[in-house]
Structure 1
Amino acid sequence: MKVFAIISALAAATLVSAGKFHIPKGAKYDLQPNGYIIQYQDSVSRSNAHSNLKKHAIDYKVRNEYDVFNGAAITVTSDHDGDALAAVPGVKHVWRIQRYSVPKTTSNSGKVDEANSVHHMTGVDAAHKKLKLTGKGVKVGIIDTGIDYKHPAFAAAGATEGCFARYGKSCRVKHGWDFVGDAYNGDTVPVPDSDPMDCQGHGTHVAGIVGGNASNIKVGPKPVVPWVGVAPDVTFGAYRIFGCSGYTNTDVILAAMEMAFNDGMDIINMSLGGGSAYKENPTAVLADKLVSFGMNVAGAAGNDGTEGVWMVSDTGLGETSTSVASFDNAYGAYYTVSYAGGKYPYNFASAWGKAISLPASATLFPLFDKAGVLQDGCDANAYKGLDVKGKVVLVLGDYSRCGSVARGEVAKTVGVAGLLAASTPFGMTNLAGAPGLPMASIENRAGEALLAAYKKNPKNVLTWAKDPSSVKVEGGGAPADMSSYGLDGDLRSKPDIGAPGGNIYSSYPRAKGSYALLSGTSMATPYYVGSQALYYEKTKSKPNGVDIRRVFKNTATISKDWGSKTYVSAAKQGAGLINVWNALTTTTRLSPDRLDLLDSDNFQGVQKITIKNIGKKTETYTLSHVPADALNSYSKGNSWPHAKPIIEADHATVKFSANKVKIPAGKSVKVTITFKEPKAGNAKHFPIYSGYVVATPSREDSPAVHVSYIGLKGSVKKVPIMDKDSGLPLLAVRNEKGELSEVSGKNYAFNYKTAAPTVIVRFASHTPNFTIRVHHPTTKAFLGYMVSGQSGTAHFPTGRMTDLDSEGELSLAVFDWHGMVLPKDVPGEKPVFLAPSTYTLIVASQQKLTKGAYPADFEVYNLGNVIISA
């Protein structure tokens, strides 16, 4: 096994140095009680580490042991917290064990993508047809809910049936393990076994995108339309980390990553994430280690695009791993309706559940108001005096006043034959609809075309197609709204690249219907992974993870939003939409694969890139600059960033040391690039600007290559960290029933047992060090960092929160105080108890890219004095 060589390099020595304790967010439902991940110093052996824990009187149970990661997951049974673990000699990092849920994907009922249509967007179809690439010989590990390995889409080439003998000759799932068991929910004890059968569906769908093949199924469930994954001959490893419901935990994920490494997987797909974070999180740390040993790791960028900036997910944040954004599929197979010579796709309501078929007598009737404006159909009075009986009414698909059920019921009362809702601003909506009413969503452009034709001739006839047909969909081919925005807390460019993830048809467990159409960065990540497998096969090599990521980023397609004339920010699309054909045929390498300009205070305006000609002939390259949209998230002086950033034309100025360079075959040239920050854009609004530096070869048979850059105008240390828009941070009290209430007045009498003082915060962006400091009220002397029984010591880095938590409530980080503080941030320091008295509580969050000098480098909120009685 690969791991033996690594273990042999570890010396049995004990280092006396301080470890670092990291706490994610502090939300209770995110953390495993008393569970910790420990990473040892590189030169510390497992036996020495355990010996040191015992010497410090720490009682614990081992959950998992790790070799490549060089650490362990433990449940602490003694009265020790993460700070105590970090103080143990030989410990490098300590994290709370974090819970992960199966990523929420969007299920799209009622429509199915045309077979392989998504491959038109990326050049995968050309790689299949012209180069005959299938990913054969490449091993891909799927760390997920398992794989339904008996599904016929995973049968080996030439097999007439699916894989009915686990890991047999007819099956391409050759490796795997169930780390948890069916009953595991994140809190229960894992019951592992060798059977990674999927009982949820997510992992089977992901695996199908990488390398499923349902193009010629003869036995077993057949798809609505034939389809083939990106690399239909890859060999799979199925590493199941979820039960049939509930959560999984960081310790399980790390164990699966190491097994995938030991099983010889070439690439690991991790379509999961735990929210905004720094790169020093355990999955990203291990991913970087695995890449250094020859693997390739890709993680989903996250589905929090509607939350605004700073939300890219933790799994792909490693320096050498890849964070993958999602693009919507440009094509789909839909039922259509024809009108006045035009053919328009529609998405029927789930309550109707089938293609619409109406007679020619059911003509179109737009529901106008007196001013000639299309109405939403929510009010019965809108139909008063109108002859709509037996007609198909067209309404505006604005659902801010009422839903599809309500407007459908209103339409039924006036006897309409059907109802069409024109979406705003574009795309088609998934409607529930009213039972018994033919109802559907149509695109915005379709609504406009129908209205224009109606005004010319109201007697035009609607014709309903009996079968679906292939159409290019409105909004398709652009970055998905749900795909998360970067940056990370160090202003690094994440996500790295985009791939198709919206409306992707793939395999699903046979017990759940065999096939499904889903959307999410969970779908984009395996598309990227499958593309890498094609590259491995084409080059007959297994390049370093950074090198192959560079090739795909260099050759991606820089994309625009639907209907836009400008390019999407690199904070949304990374380097752009993956272009597999370009990656396979390029004769140029451009490095590094990103340029981080940072902010105005730390501006890295002079950058160097290296252009390498790997072709067989001398090449001349022309250098150019492609600016992208700038993102303004603080236009109103707000502390919580806009859910949808305001697009601005804030463009950097770019100057090259040479506008053209001539490079012989096999040689490289360095070019110096001088950037100047955008003249436009208000520095007080912290606009994130970006763009692309492009090197275009003179030969037409070699594609242009590019590298993205990104920066922030203004001082990032002034970007709000705490959500003061919601009146936070604030002081509250928790009673004996566990209920919280805000404290009013300055003389509230707390006590540690039945009325504990409680600090409530919301993180609006990253901070390298969030603290709650306890001071003496008169001398102002620092007494220590608050130690909360619920969330540990308030002294840790953290990323941004979502607006709402998993239960739909406002996301909050809550810190109850029962008198314990950590006096100093030094090795071996232990918490002490402060007797009831009067104390000053100060919430202080370190500003980004600062050295952490208090109070100059902190965003400080003085919550005042708390009077604590015995």
Structure 2
Amino acid sequence: MSFFLSLFLFTAAAIPTEYSLIIEVEGNPHEFAEEIETYHPNVEILAVYDTIFNGVAIKTDQRNLEQIKRRTNFQQTYSVQKYQTQTTQTNINASIPFLIPEPLPYTGKGVKVGVIDTGIDYNHSDLQNSYKGGYDLVDFDKDPMETKPEQGMPTMHGTHVAGVIAADGKMKGVAPDAELYSYRALGPGGTGTSVQVMAAIEKAVKDGMDIINLSLGNSINGPDWPTSVAVNRATEQGVTVVIANGNTGPDLWTVGSPATANQVISVGASTPKLERPFLFDRFHDKKIEMIPMQGSPKWSFPRDLEVTNKEGKITHDTILIMDRGETPFAQLAKEAEEKGAAALLIANNEKGVFQGAVDPNISIPVAAISQEDGKWLKENPGYLTVDHEKIQDTVTDFSSRGPVTVNWGIKPEIVAPGASILSTVPGGYQALSGTSMAAPHVAGVLALLKEAHPDWTPAQLKAAILTTADPFQNFQPTEQGAGKIDPAAAIKTDTIIHESLLEFGKITDTSVQKVRKLTVENISDNPKRYAFELPKQDQDIRFQLPKSFTLQPGEKKEIKVKATIRPGQMEQGIKQGYLFLNDIPIPYMFITEAHDIPKGMGLELTVTPLEDSYHYQLYLVEEAKKLTIDLYDAKTFAFVTTLVKRTELKPGVIEGEIEQQKQLNNQYIANITIETNENQTYQYQTIWEGQGELPKVP
């Protein structure tokens, strides 16, 4: 009997009369589609997938779904995971010359680049020459235009990404002669589901894309989440896949799927040449970092300003501090403007940094600050100076960090400019920041590289840009991978190192020897000698490196890098750094049990259309003795119920069904508790918008 999986295109927040879903089959998906058409003529076949996975997308109502289930006996195994764009003033003609200071003999001519995103404004004057077609996987038609205001919250993200890759007009992208194809997987507001993302990947592969750019992601740090599996399969089909690493840095473990896939190229964000504003308190010799919000005016004041959170003391020389909460940033900015403040600082309500946007019509500068700096400013009111610092070649704070859970992989693999990048948007141009802006720089460079080396495989293209990357001195592999991409060096490289990330995994012994293999390939016309630089002595890890060797033109050699690891004295629980073969960076990393590794992440609660129940799904990193999910009222923090109690769980996707019990229409906090086999307890929380019935405890 065939085994069926389904992805349902809806959430617990709204149950439509018709559903779009994907049924994944073990057998022939075309035969399954014919069976549906024969026995269920009222069911619309949206698409058939037979490349990165076997499945059929359908659209129908509740009654037909029940009939299909009775006939085929398929079962749901994982629910929809939401995806969103990875966006958080520099002209594109500044960021690209910064990356490519001298003209290159390649422009991406003849290379097909698929942009899986919010669509593309193909009427934009700078994109008309490059745009060649695409498909809309939100509405399932051949018009992948950005969401317009009459269709919902309008979007511009995909057009911005497309401009970085291949704008060819007033603004020039990295590869202006590349052929752009748009696959609209994210709808109004820039959000979508795994249904649309996987369908878009499938369509792009079938359409013969050379390169796919996905400036999107979720919060699930797992290498075997369905979308991570899908992009790996796309790579196996000969497509080079570039993915934004995420915007939830600077903490470790913040990379999310599908950037967690091991065969793709995950991209972090670095800074081009920028002037960044900051506040300075001379009396306390204190510097306050700020992240200006998209759409607000520049921070430029010739005089010192008083910083306060006391709304009764506002004057035209006041910077008002407000706390981040449920009120939209644009509304906070409008309120501060109406109160007469000269500028607004929005302090985070949790640890770390954040980014945001306000209405471009706001006349006062608005910026985000950390929770810690907000508290300090409230306790130390006074006059501060607005100053600026010139920065370049740093990894941005917002850029998500690795490593990946389960396989302990290094992410991102590479970084590119992603801060204040001006590019095309519907109706004009706008500056955006995020790893969403970094990824298309890399996709454009790969188009140049593919034109220069049309026979290279995705693995060779990836190896070339990692081999020639330039690591920043003050950043680690989990922040920058091999370093900043160097387009000219990648095109003219005479050496490629395959599998150049030395991932030694999780170390549980007091002393262990690890061996990793690299393949060095001389692609030049002359013999080349290779030698490792001797690393500094380190009591935690000692390398036994191969002796120097020479490769003839076109010759490959597999070498072994041995490492004796004794982590007993380590305090951080993670060790990483770089080896150098000639001047080629080779990142390495291992972790120990002393490191604070997340034990689980994510939680999806969705109403199933076929059963009077909820389907839940989360990701478990390691084996667990017990899993508990408790629900609390988000406003009062009162305990509501225990949703799930399970024991003896294996790592990976954890899922199940919960019967409905009573009405549940508020906002809730789900507290997930994981008890490990070592009797350790790990907890995390997530917000859930309830609608429908309260689940019973299974």
Q: What's the secondary structure of 2:546's corresponding residue?
A: coil
Q: How does 1:567-582 map to 2 (within 5 A)?
A: 567-568=475-476, 570-582=477-489
Aligned to 1:653: 541
Deviation at 1:673, TM superposition (A): 1.8
- Pairing 1:691–2:599 present: no
CA distance in 2 between partners of 1:557 and 1:790 (Å): 55
Shift in Å, 1:274: 2.6
- Matching of residues 89-168 of structure 1 within 5 Å: 96-103=78-85, 105-106=87-88, 112-114=89-91, 116-122=93-99, 124-126=100-102, 129=103, 131-154=104-127, 163=128
Q: Following TM superposition, by how much is the alpha carbon of 1:147 offset from its aligned partner in structure 2, in angstroms?
A: 1.1
Secondary structure of 1:483's partner? coil
Q: Is residue 329–residue 476 contact of structure 1 (8 Å, CA) maintained in 2?
A: yes
CA distance in 1, matches of 2:353, 2:223: 35
Q: 1:289 to 1:31 in 2, by over 3 A?
A: farther
What amino acid is aligned across from residue 408 of structure 2 in structure 1? Answer: L
Pick from 738, 745, 759 the counterpart of residue 644 of structure 2. 759
Once the two structures are superposed, the pairs formed by residues 245-324 of structure 1 within 5 Å of their partners are 245=189, 247-305=191-249, 308-324=251-267
Aligned match of 1:477? 394
Question: How far, CA to CA, are the matches of 2:407 and 2:466 in structure 1?
Answer: 21
Residue 35 (structure 1) shift: 6.5
Q: Distance in 2 between matches of 1:230 and 1:70?
A: 35
Deviation digits for residues 142-163 of structure 1, max 9, x if unmatched? 1222111111112xxxxxxxx4
Matches within 5 A, 1:368-767: 376-378=307-309, 473-474=390-391, 477-510=394-427, 514-539=428-453, 541-560=454-473, 566-568=474-476, 570-601=477-508, 605-624=514-533, 652-677=540-565, 679=567, 682=570, 687-696=573-582, 704-714=583-593, 720-721=599-600, 729=628, 741-742=639-640, 758-759=643-644, 767=651
* CA deviation profile, 1:538-578 (whole Å, cap 9, x unmatched): 22x14211221111112212124xxxxx332x222222221
Distance 1:590 1:238 in 2: 32
CA distance in 1, matches of 2:594, 2:312: 54
Task: Give the Cα–Cα distance (whole angstroms) in 2 for the partners of residues 103 and 707 of structure 1.
Answer: 30
Partners in 2 of 1:443 and 1:80 — Cα distance?
Answer: 53
CA gap 1:808/1:382 in 2 versus in 1, 3 angstroms: same
Change (3 A) 1:529 1:504: same
- Residue 273 of structure 2 corresponds to 330
- Quick one: distance in 2 between partners of 1:96 and 1:261? 24
Compared with structure 1, are the counterparts of its residues 212 and 810 closer, same or farther at alpha carbon in structure 2 (3 Å cutoff)? farther
Which of 171, 174, 186 pairs up with 1:230? 174
CA distance in 1, matches of 2:550, 2:209: 40
**What is the letter of the counterpart of residue 100 of structure 1?**
K
Alignment-mate amino acid for residue 442 of structure 2: Y
Q: What's the counterpart of residue 157 of structure 2?
A: 202
How far apart in 1 are the matches of 2:353 and 2:652? 40
Q: What are the Cα deviations for residues 614-637 of structure 1, in whole angstroms up to 9, with x where unaligned?
A: 22222222313679xxxxxxxxxx
Structure 1 pair 430–235 and aligned structure 2 pair: CA distance change class (3 A): closer
Deviation, 1:62, is 4.7
Assess, with a 3 A threshold, how the Cα gap between structure 1 residues 255 and 553 changes in structure 2: closer, same or farther.
same
Q: Secondary structure at the match of 1:98?
A: coil
C-alpha contact 1:419 1:439 (8 A) present in aligned 2: yes
Contact 2:297–2:363, Cα closer than 8 Å, also in 1: no
Give SS of 2:66's match.
coil
- The TM-score normalised by the length of structure 1 is 0.58
**Alignment size in residue pairs:** 608
Q: By how many angstroms is 1:659 displaced?
A: 4.7
Q: Give per-residue Cα distances to partners, 1:328-374, cap 9 Å, x unaligned.
A: 33336999xxxxxxxxx99999999479697xxxxx5587xxxxxxx
Q: Would the alpha carbon gap of residues 546 and 558 (structure 1) be closer, same or farther in structure 2, given more than 3 Å must change?
A: same
Q: Indicate the SS of the match to 1:571.
A: helix
Counterpart residue identity of residue 471, structure 2: I
- Contact persistence 1:210–1:232 (CA under 8 A): yes
1:787 paired residue number: 657
Contact 2:531 2:549 in 1 (8 A): yes
Q: Secondary structure at the match of 1:546?
A: helix
Extract unaligned runs of 5+ from structure 1.
Answer: 1-15, 88-93, 107-111, 155-162, 164-170, 181-189, 218-226, 336-344, 359-363, 368-375, 384-388, 413-417, 445-461, 465-470, 561-565, 628-648, 697-703, 744-756, 772-785, 792-806, 814-842, 848-854, 862-867
- Aligned counterparts of 1:48 and 1:436: Cα–Cα separation in 2: 57
Paired with 1:348 and 1:36, the residues of 2 have a C-alpha distance of: 40
CA spacing shift, 1:677–1:250, aligned 2, 3 Å: same
Larger Rg: 1
Where 1:605 maps in the other structure, the secondary structure is strand
CA deviation after TM superposition for structure 1 residue 705, in Å: 1.8
Q: Is the CA contact 1:656–1:671 (under 8 Å) kept in the aligned structure 2?
A: no
> How far 1:204 moved relative to its partner?
0.4
- Residue 153 of structure 1 aligns with an amino acid whose one-letter code is D
Q: Equivalent residue of 1:258, what SS?
A: helix
Which residue does 1:192 correspond to in 2?
A: 141
Q: Secondary structure at the match of 2:101?
A: helix
Give the whole-Å Cα distance in 1 for the aligned partners of 2:273 and 2:438: 14
Q: Single out whichever of 667-676 and 347-356 deviates more from structure 2.
A: 347-356
Structure 1 residues 148 and 50: CA distance shift in structure 2, 3 A: closer
Q: Distance in 1 between matches of 2:579 and 2:217?
A: 30
Larger deviation: 322-331 or 600-609? Answer: 600-609
> CA 1:21–1:407 in 2, change beyond 3 Å: closer, same or farther?
closer
Task: Give the letter for the 1:179 counterpart.
Answer: L
TM-score by length of 2: 0.70
Alpha-carbon distance in structure 2 between the residues aligned to 1:597 and 1:31: 46
CA-to-partner distance for each residue in 1:613-664, whole Å, 9 max, x for gaps? 222222222313679xxxxxxxxxxxxxxxxxxxxx9985242333533333
Provide, for residues 758-805 of structure 1, a one-character-per-residue CA deviation record: whole Å limited to 9, x for no partner. Answer: 3389xxx9942547xxxxxxxxxxxxxx631479xxxxxxxxxxxxxx
Distance in 1 (CA, whole Å) between partners of 2:469 and 2:220 is: 25
Deviations 1:174-208 (A, max 9, x none): 1222333xxxxxxxxx3624463553111100100
Shift of 1:534: 0.8
SS at match of 2:270: strand
For residue 168 of structure 2, what is the amino acid of its counterpart? N
CA contact (8 A) 1:99 1:247 kept: no
Cα deviation, residue 234, structure 1: 0.9
Q: Is the 8 A contact 1:117 1:332 kept in 2?
A: no
Q: Give the whole-Å Cα distance in 2 for the aligned partners of 1:441 and 1:474.
A: 18
- Partner SS, residue 153 of structure 1: coil
Match of 2:652 in 1: 768
Is the CA contact (8 Å cut-off) linking 2:11 and 2:80 kept in structure 1?
no
CA distance in 1, matches of 2:226, 2:204: 16
User: Quick check: 1:77 aligned with 2:60?
Assistant: no
Q: Secondary structure at the match of 2:543?
A: strand
Report if aligned partners of 1:309, 1:487 keep a CA contact under 8 Å in 2.
Answer: no
Aligned amino acid, residue 573 of structure 1: Q
CA contact (8 A) 1:443 1:474 kept: no
| Alignment CA distance shift 1:54-1:476 (3 Å) | same
> Residue type matched to 1:212 in 2?
A
Are the equivalent residues in 1 in contact too, given 2:402–2:409 (CA < 8 A)? no
What is the distance in 2 between the residues matched to 1:48 and 1:442?
Answer: 54
Richer in strand (by share): 2
Separation (CA, whole Å) in 1 of partners of 2:204 and 2:679: 42
